[in-house]
Every structure is written in structure tokens, then in C-alpha cells.
Amino acid sequence: MEDLTLEHHSIHHIDLINESLTKPTTPAEDSDIEAFGKDVLKGVFTSSRGKAFEFASDTEEVAMLVRGMMNGGWPVSSVKIANRLLRSEINSQEGLGNFQNVSKGALMQMKVSSGESQFIIFTKVDHGKFMDEKDSKIHFGLPFEKRVQKTCVFEFDGGDTPISIRIFDSNKKIAKYWWRDFLCCIGLISSEDNTKKAFNEVDKILTRNLKKQSKPDYTYLRNNIITYFRSNDAIAFDDFIENIVRSYAPINDNININEIADKIAALPEKKGFDTQFEVDKKSINARIKRVVVLAENFELNIKGEIKDLERLVNTGIDDEGKFLKIYSDEGFSEFNRIKNNGQ
């Protein structure tokens, strides 16, 4: 989106220590605030993660304030929005206690237009102290190489009611205080549906593009994916692709893992699931059972993820043919007994 026009903006510093809200930044005529805002927007619109939401009710405070922003009430509504975030963060911090802190930051609110569409964007960015080299004094400010923590994008097509609401978090899990307490939203797709769709569609890609081409790679990568889904409470799909799929080193040199990763990356838009969601573990447990037929009446039953699978099993070829080697004290005892004493 190169044709973005920044119509309104405001920045409020959220001071949790003093439980107060710093007045919005009023830029000078020669300020770089518009350049900073557009730089933030680039990150917002190019983000590859997020989840679709809707307002829990059209009469919720934020829903009404957003409509006010679209109808000329920016100065009043933006301050009320910032105060609501402050209250939400205070409540969230009280719930966390002294062992964990809500991340410090500033709320940047923007209204932008692009062609026929308009957007209202709430984004929380890092801010902190710095020493000004001109006056040698300590100031609070926003780093231009900022880190966007959390964002909500409301899209409009001419009316004052959003046609879509998309929320994302720089962490894997979207903080509840952000989407529930602050914005009063609910997800359009449940954790169960997101988990089922994501896992099933990824599994189909592996089956079509890896299972016949290289069974060992299919087994190892699928096991890594199962482990990732079962060991994480939430998944950011971009992290999953980079850390699990693209980082996998195939045994078979003919396997192009980046092509497979690209196909998996296209799944959320094609198949209709979020790129950031909480994992429903029950949905995964019901989908990871596999049976490998070793010989007639001899099967290997895989009931879940297997830790250190690459070190637990090995394959090879000797004078007798192809073999599967499994390191197991229990298996050794059982089959050693059968070999020496019969069944």
C-alpha cells in the first residue's frame, strides 16, 4: 500500500508506574511524525501474522469510540481510547503480580486512507529514555527503529462500522488484555477450528510433496511439526514456518524444503485460517496417530510426537536388504526374549 494518506494521528505514553496518561504528542511544523507514522504503517500492512476479530457488541465503548473517530470526533475519542488502554493495562498488571510485567510502551493511533478504503489503527510501540545530544538532557521518546508490540487494524469501506478487524501481537500469543479487555473483541475463528485446519492442511502438503519423495524426511519433519503444535500454547504461523519448516535439513538432497515452506506459507489465505492462534491440544491429539506396516501382521503404532526421533531410529541397507533400527531398552528386552525363547 504505497498510496497511504495519514489523516489523523496521536501518541500517548502509557505510564503504568504512576498509573497516568501523558498528553498526546503535538508535533511541530517541521517534525518527522508523519514519516514515523508511515514507517509504522509499513510494518502493519506487511505483517504476515494476525487474527480476525469482531466487536463483542456494537454498544461496547471501543466500538462506539471508533465510530466517533470516523465521524469527526478524533480529539475526544482518541483520548478516551488511550485512557481505556491504561485501565486495561493496570488491571492486567494487577493480575500478573510482581513476577511478570506488562510491556512498557506508547499507544499510537492513526486514521489513514488508501483509495476507497479507510483504516483506523491502534498500535502499541516501545518507548523509553534517551539522552539528547543537543541539550544533554534525558527525554522520553520513540525510537525510529521501533518495535511494534501489538496492533489492531479496523478497515472501512465508506461507512462508520468496520468491515474487518484484524489484531496481531509481536509475541506468539495475542495478549488477552489487548483483544478482550481493551478492545472488547471476540475471534471469528475458534482455536479448535484454527488448529484443525492448520494442522490438517500442513499435513496434506507433506503427504503430497514429501511422503512419496522421501519417507524418512516426511517422518522426521512431520514429527517435528507435531511436537511444535503440542508443545506451544499459541502459534504465529510465520515463526512456525521459519523455525520448523525452512530450518529443516532434508536427508534426501533432491528435496527442496523452501518450495514446501512456500506452499505451507500460502495455506492460511487459501484455506481460511488465522496466522496467529491459540492451539487446541485436543484437536492435535486426535490427528497424530499413525500406523506403519512393517510386515504382514507386524505394525509400528505411532500415537504421538516422539522426542529426539532422529537419534531414536536409523535406517540402512545390508546383505539381507533394507532395515529399520530402533534404540529401545524395552524393545530389546522383549524381542531378545522372543528370539531366544520363542513367543
For residue 188, the model assigns a pLDDT of 97
Among the candidates 253, 285, 317, a domain finishes at 285
Among the candidates 266, 285, 304, a domain finishes at 285
Tens digit of pLDDT for each residue in 113-128? Answer: 888 899 999 999 876 5
Q: Does residue 253 sit in the same domain as residue 222? A: yes
Distance CA 275, CA 123 (A): 18
Q: Does residue 175 sit in the same domain as residue 207? A: no
CB within 8 Å of 59: residues ≥ 6 apart: none
Please give the average per-residue pLDDT across 221-229, as a whole number: 90
Contact of 85 with 182, CB cutoff 8 Å: yes
Among the candidates 139, 171, 187, a domain finishes at 187
- The total number of structural domains that make up the chain: 2
CB within 8 Å of 174: residues ≥ 6 apart: 51, 150, 167, 168, 234, 276
DSSP 3: -
The verdict on pTM exceeding 0.95 is no
Q: Does residue 15 sit in the same domain as residue 146? A: yes
Whether the CA torsion 84, 90, 96, 100 is positive or negative: it is positive
Q: Does residue 154 sit in the same domain as residue 242? A: no
The partner residues of 114 in beta bridges, in order of sequence, read 117
The answer on pLDDT for 150 being more than 60 is yes
Q: pLDDT higher for 274 or 309?
A: 274
